[in-house]
Structure 1
């Protein structure tokens, strides 16, 4: 393989003959130079996605449950609860995404990890919607979340002994993850008020987001003085984010068919259902076409800052569109919206559109002036710090 002497392209490919395989990094930076263990482009469907997409099926049910809980009783307090129970599931999903992006080998250990995390998430999904009503549900929710995060951290720690390419950053990530778990301990105690628990959960969610950004940032790499640093397979990474986004859009479509709310024949409910379908289709179109440019550079390739911005914007994006999707789909079975439903639909849909707009702005438009009727040229080409990358490859620093 060019640039990596002595590495056989097929040496570390997934192979059904092996129950266990030594975890090895699939891509990394060595003194600022991108290195890849194999050149084939990875996408979610043919490779690691066989089990990652199975994991996503569980998220379909979990997210639908959260959205339904919010739609049943729309208020400011319920909205805060919705955000605080949704964000942890996103963090667990992100943990597995990072692990499979860097170390996928499809052995028994990885399959068992995914199954274990799914079992824990079943417990989380069944209890999270009741956290403000029952202390037992609160404890079950927090406990299952901590088990899921610690399990993923244990896998990262184990892999850091088996492969040295991501070792320093993995151990930093594990340390910060374990620290963040202590923030959730007050949620177990009945003596702590609900407001105090909300504050602790909010601090924990923000701390975890900031920890992820810091661990994989240039600042952490400089602090660790690491010769080998992390890199991501962009094709796989983008495909996983797109898969989660499509799961969220499924909330628009599920309720316009299940239970036949638009039967029988042509009626007003059918018109509502078709309009919901059009909204979901357009949202998917906007996401798939990015900034609309004919030639553009993905945020993962353009800049460290645009890469982190693109990734972190997905959490508010999926949270807002999930809520709006459930309310919009309910219109197929209702003649008119109540005021809370109208506010939730418009507010969450508007937030989602702003997030999509933010994602589009992060792309570098490389079209020549005048190529499109509406051009997106808001800054000079050198306005951001470029990512260290290999243009011929499909990996970059993240």
Structure 2
């Protein structure tokens, strides 16, 4: 889940004061000479940016597309002496390409989940996790590569197609993993090439983007080193493959943390450092979450179309409706967050909370898709023939609720503050901790439903009732108590 170009947090400030710095002074430092500071209509956009937490900000103009073939890379966001410099214009064609990427990725992950639910065992679950993690890693790489650099040209489009072609080879190779070293290579080598492509791109971009130069050189070099560590996975025994894979995934994520953590910036005494566009991150992860939730809806429709559910509102149609309500509750639990009207986003609160916010999305998305696939298989059965499917459904829901709790708790609510910026904020019936805490026991209770070996309809119905009650509780306790 590594993110390139994502130095994550800078110290907060009391307001949105802009730096009184002339163009000439800024341009003379590190040759960032093509910047144009915008001044018109900044007040409305400030309110949009500042809603994630106060930060000093200056705006820069994104350059025009000079050529359809090749354009010079350009940093859309960066910190300079504690001030965030960023663009505020539309991302052009990247939004359409991002949706295309997300649809393809969810399709790939759904295929992996279907393979796991076909034989729901602990071994299948382990394979699902090990195959999913590299897919998520590459998705994160592409997301940041497109989001944080201006380069809307033919070369970027070819790069995206190259990565997608490699992923298709990777996904097909998962069907034959462990059959031979050649079969192992069809999984490992495409992933290595995806990562190497990113590492080389970062090193090339470091030449043209001085604002990200030091951190990109560090991360690009670490990517090349970790790629070499994947080669032995092709040849060693199964147990060694598992151990090496987990080690390499850990090192890849650790290398990203080391490269873009604010502490590294301080250690290297960098005047320039990478920055993220928080509202874009929220939008991208939110869109991916919605598509993952869509797996529930797709599987409901596909199951009712392929299986004989009978005429009228039958029991199995009722199960499909229950799954629809479960998906709807999960949708609202994510976007409702902690129920605060105003909060400092995790990505702006501190470097550590920012990294945790990114990392928690990986188990959240993977568990949701596995849950949706297991639910679809359970929906048309007359009774639970394999208890593993039930545990996949309830266990994945439990993991999802734990991740949703973690994501919501990472934001810092300022609704209940008095004076200063919080003087007009609402007060809730319960503090944030008590509003969110029930997500954890509800997740545990849902897993216990599988232990109780409930009949399928009762399993779905009880799960739905718990989630509806949880959502209603959070909405009620988040209301303004002064009303």
Scaled by the length of structure 1, the TM-score of the pair is: 0.88
1:204 maps to 248
Q: Given the superposition, is the C-alpha separation of residues 313 and 11 from structure 1 closer, same or farther in structure 2, using an over 3 Å criterion?
A: closer
Pairing partner for 1:231 from 256, 275, 278: 275
- Cα distance, 1:222 vs. partner? 2.5
- Tell which deviates more after alignment, 219-228 or 20-29: 219-228
- Cα distance, 1:108 vs. partner? 1.2
Report the 3-state secondary structure (helix = DSSP H, G, I; strand = E; otherwise coil) of the residue aligned with 1:184. helix
Asked if the contact 2:342–2:415 (Cα under 8 Å) also holds between the matched residues in 1, the reply is: yes
2:85 maps to 35
1:371 maps to 427
1:158 maps to 204
Larger Rg: 2
Report the 3-state secondary structure (helix = DSSP H, G, I; strand = E; otherwise coil) of the residue aligned with 2:174. helix
Q: Given the superposition, is the C-alpha separation of residues 242 and 14 from structure 1 closer, same or farther in structure 2, using an over 3 Å criterion?
A: farther
1:48 maps to 94
Pairing partner for 2:152 from 106, 110, 133: 106
CA RMSD between the two structures? 2.2
CA–CA separation in structure 1 for the residues paired with 2:373 and 2:142:
26
Q: Given the superposition, is the C-alpha separation of residues 178 and 31 from structure 1 closer, same or farther in structure 2, using an over 3 Å criterion?
A: same
2:73 maps to 23
CA–CA separation in structure 2 for the residues paired with 1:178 and 1:273:
47
2:392 maps to 344
Count of aligned residue pairs for this structure pair: 372
1:192-211 Cα offsets, whole Å, 9 max, x none, are 21101111111111111111
1:7 maps to 35
CA–CA separation in structure 2 for the residues paired with 1:264 and 1:133:
45
CA–CA separation in structure 1 for the residues paired with 2:345 and 2:61:
30
CA–CA separation in structure 2 for the residues paired with 1:359 and 1:273:
28
- Cα distance, 1:94 vs. partner? 0.9
**Poorly superposed stretches of 4+, deviation over 4 Å:** 1-4
Q: Given the superposition, is the C-alpha separation of residues 319 and 347 from structure 1 closer, same or farther in structure 2, using an over 3 Å criterion?
A: same
Pairing partner for 2:402 from 342, 351, 354: 354
CA–CA separation in structure 2 for the residues paired with 1:212 and 1:373:
40
Asked if the contact 2:110–2:370 (Cα under 8 Å) also holds between the matched residues in 1, the reply is: no
2:297 maps to 253
Q: Given the superposition, is the C-alpha separation of residues 59 and 264 from structure 1 closer, same or farther in structure 2, using an over 3 Å criterion?
A: farther
Q: Given the superposition, is the C-alpha separation of residues 364 and 125 from structure 1 closer, same or farther in structure 2, using an over 3 Å criterion?
A: same
- Unpaired runs of at least 5, structure 2: 1-17, 24-33, 39-59, 418-425, 435-483
Scaled by the length of structure 2, the TM-score of the pair is: 0.73
- Unpaired runs of at least 5, structure 1: 379-398
Asked if the contact 2:134–2:191 (Cα under 8 Å) also holds between the matched residues in 1, the reply is: yes
CA–CA separation in structure 1 for the residues paired with 2:242 and 2:339:
40
CA–CA separation in structure 2 for the residues paired with 1:249 and 1:4:
48
Report the 3-state secondary structure (helix = DSSP H, G, I; strand = E; otherwise coil) of the residue aligned with 1:28. strand
1:393 maps to none
